[in-house]
Chains A and B, each alone.
Chain A
């Protein structure tokens, strides 16, 4: 197998709540690897720390201990748990994408511009960026009459697809997916599955949480099971 793009060693996250003087562990003893062109699925019951691991990699959470080693495009190994803020921002812009469960966007922006924004940020010509956004929205079956409307009024599933398109458009090297199909109907889920399969072929490395065991079975190359509160076991499908 090719070299891992991401290797997590003994990662743990504990929240300290000052108000209640309490420590709340949300993930511990996490070890996993993610490879180019392959998908690693995180499984485990609610509260096992699946989202917490993704947020730790993206640095939305400050990891409490362990190493999160990312092999960058330039070939450097960066510990994301300790990297500087500007370096993290640059990696988010250029290399690491995150599709979260919620869509935050400005109320005035059209769906197309929301989706194209990661390309704008990279300095892609706006005409080209919008063209690529339209193509992706069509692929994810967002009705074309919604493209020029701000997503604030969209249904949950439509918002989810806009969010997904926004995460996918810049084709990051490492893509983190937090239940990307959670509120989608079966037909749309199928399109997303196809899209994820095609992303694998382009060499994108993915770490994903899926609601459905069926999706794990179909899409995952590696499966990592997390269990609350601390025990972690790594299973292999092969």
Chain B
């Protein structure tokens, strides 16, 4: 069996009507991702990478570089303008962008997980923390109330959320705890592929460290492949084995994370690393 879990080729997203010149007149060398001819935004263009089972890939870049756009397409939050992504799931192989809506939903609910920067996007604030996890468990194969509650409890304790709070609404939780509930929810179906979009941004440093630690522990335990989107070099240093550097919708450099940090090749990456605190 190949160790590859995801293969992304030529993935692109252009917001706007687009024109034949869009991709030729945007990018790092033009210092913009807005097409000067038609005004379309080239959010991501020609993204290529392979992800292996259990591997953590970092995507780093400033706001508007296209890192979240890339992940959104893979999680079906947005549709690509062109490009392909193949998901290798055991013996099966899925061309992600050829799936119909129902198949995409099933993929999101059972095989993928997503943790957003903003807990409002990943959690339902109308229901309890336990209910949020139950919602996702119901979408997999668990049907019995007692079993679902037991699993939800297990997931919350694994992510270090006090069981006493299982029936409370996550809107009463601290930011760090909301992220833990999101992680518990994303992991409910034990997905082999997890997306993490700026999950520690805006949290206190000590809380950040604990969340990063938790993510690594989970990766170790479950061998979950992850794509970690962040603008924080410290996060990729601790989490990711390999890293893509994005700017103006393009991958300008990719490599082993320690190499990106200690021997960056591209002018932008050199500036980015040099300006890190």
Contact = CB atoms under 8 A, between A and B. Distances in A.
Interface string A172-205: 0000000000000000000000000000000000
Contact of B209 (A62, A88, A104, A106): A106
Interface stretch (A15-23, A133-141, A208-216): A15-23
B270 A18 contact: yes
Interface string B238-277: 1001100000000000011011001101110011001000
A89 B256 contact: yes
B262 A106 contact: no
A89 B241 contact: yes
Interface string A35-74: 0000000000000000000010001111000000000000
Contacts, number: 54
Contacts of B255: 62, 85
B210 A62 contact: no
B263 A106 contact: no
A237 interface: no
A108 B213 CA distance: 7
Contacts of B220: 120-121
A89 B259 CA distance: 12
Contacts of A59: 256, 259
Contacts of B218: none
B267 A89 contact: no
B106 to A, nearest CB: 29
Chain B interface SS verdict (over half): helix
Interface in B61-83: none
Interface residues of B, number: 27
A55 B263 CA distance: 10
B216 A106 contact: yes
A60 B258 contact: yes
Nearest to A98: B258
Given A15-B263, A55-B262, A106 B212 contact: yes
B125 interface: no
A53 to B, nearest CB: 13
Interface of A: 15-19, 55, 59-62, 85-86, 88-89, 104, 106-109, 120-121
18 contacts: A16-B265, A18-B267, A19-B267, A55-B262, A60-B258, A61-B262, A62-B263, A62-B265, A86-B50, A86-B55, A88-B256, A89-B55, A106-B212, A106-B238, A108-B209, A108-B213, A109-B213, A120-B220
